[in-house]
Each structure stands twice: as structure tokens, then as C-alpha cells.
């Protein structure tokens, strides 16, 4: 079978490798159908990501078709069923795991980051990671993973009907947050530096968009009836964005940081108490992956607008280079594996 191996920084090789082993107890053999290429994949490819290792098969956003069940499987997903994979392998015994938050496990391993991922024809995974995606087109099913990241942020911020959610950063996670916020009955606005991304944000349901490089428009105040957004989602990891989130969020509001960077941010102390704001980190997801699949299923047109590039396995390195250089061109690239 084929595997796309990241063998050194900025080097991916399409190799012919041995077929994978039979699935063990509680495991299933998947034929991989589609794999999303993510911002974190850029860092793994370049070798700048803290967990980059070589050689590795990347791909943590993927779906497949069940080909075989190992002994002791419950069989909830029959052979021939399309499934989306929740790519997390928590240790099960650390403190976060003990309180039901394996998404931030202290020893967390992620398929396609710490262990081989989806950029190959077949993969054996634990049955418990599977979520039914039957009837979904493969690229849409692969988009369930980034949708789960966005939804986790909104769950952390306790978004409910009537909330006004400002999303900072209209990359794939920010766009997914717009779709998910609306699915929860909230309203959404967005800012970004890239005009094309703002156009897509409008297309997937943002009621107000603005250039992140400029001043915050008066229209944001009108949009929130003068109180400010009740929830601000940072999907950038940029210090200026997180600082802006604290300034803009309403009294009793929530700021949730999904974006990643190695930078630091300084924050004014008074608003914490005066506005009694909550500032929350959000990582991966827990207990909501099935809901993310459902949101993708319910919003086929919006999801399709975000998948700007459907590519073949051998096109991944050049597409990553294109995406890094041209975020205005590439919103989400997804590999559709050969049938
Ligand atoms: Zn991702
Ligand atoms: Zn753990």
C-alpha cells in the first residue's frame, strides 16, 4: 500500500510499504477515504512543531471505511461503513483523564502527530475512536475533526442561543466556529487579515466581518446592541488578537483561546474582575465528536465552500507550500484517496 512519509523537514516521500497488520482486540482496519491538511500539519512538515518527528505519516483529520474488525469489537460500525475518526489516544489515568478530560491528557498521543496517521491507504485504529459518517462525502466526513475543535471551544465558552460570538481568525477552525455557533442558535461575526477569508466567513454565515488590521468598526457595537460580543473565540494564537478579545468581550463574557503560538500576551487586570470575564483555553475535544459530525452533516453547503482544494495523496507537499504562502487561495485542502 501507499504511505506518504514525512522523512525530513520539508520532505515528504510517497512510499510503497507493507500492508498493515491484522486488527488486534478492539481494533478495526480502515481503508482511508479522505484526510484534511491542517495548520498544525504545516509545522510538522517543516519540523517546527514541538512534536515533529521523522519519519512520520501525518494526517489527524480523516475518515475511512471499515474493512475488518478485530476480535472483541462491539461491531457498532459494520464492515463497509464510512466512519470519521476521533484521533486522540489519552493515557486514561492522569488527572485530566480521571476527570473526563482526556482531550488535555498529560501524556496525550494524537494519530498523525505522535503515531502514524491517515496519509496512507490503510490504518488500524481502536474501534472506540469511530463515529458514524455513513452517507457523508469523504472530504466532508474528514472535516468533522476541525469542526470538533471549533465546537469544543464553543462548549468551553458555554455558547447558547442568543449569544453573539465574535471569531478572530477566519482560517478553517474559525470558519468552523462560525458554522457551529449558528448551529447552537448563536449569531456570529468574524475578523481576519485576509479579504478572501472574510468573504468565505460571510458565505458560511457571519453577519458582520471586518479587517483585523484596522480599528474595530462601530458596526460591532451596533451588532451587539452596545454590550460587546458575549463570546470571543481566538482562532489565531496572536497576542494582539487575544488582547483585543479581552477588550471587546461583554461584561460576564467569555474569551476562548483555540489558536496556538509560542508567543506571550499581557492582559489588563481590571477587566477580569470588573467585567467578570472568563478566559478559557481549548484543546482538541471531548465527548462532542458525534455532535461535530452532525453539524457537518447538517451544513453541507457551508462545509463545501471551505474545502477549496481537493487533492491527491502525491500533491500534499506542494499544496502545503501553496497554503503556507497563500492563505487567501487555500482555505482547506483535503486529500481524497484513490478508490
Ligand atoms: Zn487539524
Ligand atoms: Zn491522561
- CATH 3.90.180.10 range(s) for the chain read 2-142+299-336
How far apart CA 60 and CA 66 sit, in angstroms, is 17
Q: Is 228 helix (H, G, I), strand (E, B) or coil?
A: coil
Ligand 1 centroid–CA 192 distance in Å is 19
Q: Is 242 helix (H, G, I), strand (E, B) or coil?
A: helix
Closest ligand to the CA of 100: 2
How far apart CA 337 and CA 329 sit, in angstroms, is 22
Considering the chain, what is the average pLDDT of its residues? 97
Half-sphere exposure of 248 (CA within 13 A, CB side): 33
Q: Please answer whether residues 106 and 61 qualify as being in contact, where contact means their C-beta atoms are separated by less than 8 angstroms.
A: no
Q: Residue 339: is its pLDDT beyond 90? A: no
Q: Please answer whether residues 1 and 17 qualify as being in contact, where contact means their C-beta atoms are separated by less than 8 angstroms.
A: yes
Q: Residue 306: is its pLDDT beyond 80? A: yes
- CATH 3.40.50.720 range(s) for the chain read 149-281
DSSP H helices, the chain, are 39-46, 95-98, 138-142, 144-156, 172-183, 195-203, 218-223, 239-248, 270-274, 289-298, 300-306, 316-325
Which of 3.90.180.10, 1.25.40.10, 1.50.10.20, 3.20.20.70 would CATH assign to domain 2-142+299-336? 3.90.180.10
For residue 54, give Cα distances in angstroms to 8, 10, 49, 162.
Answer: 6, 11, 12, 47
Closest ligand to the CA of 104: 2
Assign domain 149-281 to its CATH architecture.
Answer: 3-Layer(aba) Sandwich (3.40)
Ligand 2 centroid–CA 100 distance in Å is 9
Residue range 216-250, pLDDT digits in tens: 999 999 999 999 999 999 999 999 999 999 999 99
Q: What is the 3-state secondary structure (H, E, C) of 45-106?
A: HHCCCCCCCCCECCCCEEEEEEEEECCCCCCCCCCCCEEEECCEECCCCCHHHHCCCHHHCC
| Cell 507537499 belongs to residue | 317
Ligand 1 centroid–CA 83 distance in Å is 17
Q: pLDDT band at 21, cuts 50/70/90? A: confident
Q: Residue 22: is its pLDDT beyond 80? A: yes
Closest ligand to the CA of 110: 1
Once rounded to an integer, what is the mean pLDDT over residues 160-177?
98
What is the DSSP secondary structure assignment for residue 115, as one 8-state letter?
A: B
Ligand 1 centroid–CA 112 distance in Å is 10
Amino acid at each position: 500500500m501507499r504511505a506518504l512519509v514525512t522523512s525530513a523537514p520539508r520532505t515528504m516521500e510517497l512510499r510503497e510499504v507493507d500492508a498493515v497488520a491484522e486488527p488486534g482486540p478492539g481494533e478495526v482496519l480502515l481503508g482511508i477515504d479522505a484526510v484534511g491538511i491542517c495548520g498544525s500539519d504545516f509545522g510538522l512538515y517543516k519540523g517546527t512543531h514541538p512534536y515533529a518527528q521523522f519519519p512520520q505519516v501525518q494526517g489527524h483529520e480523516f475518515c475511512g471505511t471499515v474493512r475488518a474488525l478485530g476480535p472483541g469489537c462491539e461491531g457498532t460500525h459494520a464492515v463497509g461503513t464510512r466512519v470519521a475518526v476521533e484521533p486522540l489516544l489519552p493515557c486514561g489515568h492522569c488527572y485530566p483523564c480521571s476527570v473526563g478530560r482526556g482531550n488535555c491528557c498529560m501524556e496525550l498521543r494524537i494519530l498523525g502527530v505522535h503515531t502514524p496517521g491517515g496519509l496512507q491507504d490503510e490504518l488500524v485504529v481502536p474501534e472506540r475512536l469511530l463515529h458514524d459518517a455513513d452517507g457523508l462525502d469523504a472530504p466532508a466526513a474528514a472535516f468533522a475533526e476541525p469542526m470538533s475543535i471549533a465546537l469544543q471551544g464553543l462548549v468551553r465558552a458555554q455558547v447558547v442561543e442568543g449569544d453573539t460570538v465574535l471569531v478572530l481568525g477566519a482560517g478553517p477552525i474559525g470558519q468552523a466556529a462560525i458554522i457551529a455557533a449558528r448551529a447552537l442558535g448563536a449569531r456570529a461575526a468574524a475578523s481576519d487579515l485576509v479579504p478572501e477569508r472574510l468573504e468565505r466567513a460571510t458565505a458560511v454565515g457571519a453577519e458582520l466581518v471586518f479587517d483585523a488590521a484596522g480599528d474595530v468598526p462601530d458596526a460591532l457595537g451596533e451588532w451587539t446592541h452596545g454590550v460587546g460580543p458575549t463570546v470571543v473565540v481566538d482562532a489565531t494564537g496572536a497576542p494582539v488578537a487575544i488582547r483585543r478579545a479581552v477588550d471587546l468581550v461583554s461584561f460576564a463574557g467569555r474569551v476562548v483561546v483555540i489558536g496556538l503560538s509560542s508567543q506571550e500576551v499581557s492582559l489588563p487586570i481590571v477587566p477580569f474582575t470588573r467585567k467578570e470575564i472568563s478566559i478559557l483555553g481549548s484543546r482538541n475535544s471531548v465527548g462532542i465528536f458525534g455532535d461535530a459530525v452532525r453539524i457537518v452533516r447538517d451544513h453541507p453547503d457551508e462545509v463545501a465552500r471551505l474545502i477549496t482544494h481537493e487533492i491527491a495523496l502525491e500533491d500534499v507537499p506542494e499544496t502545503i507550500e501553496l497554503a503556507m504562502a497563500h492563505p487567501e487561495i487555500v482555505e482547506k485542502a483535503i486529500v481524497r484517496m484513490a478508490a
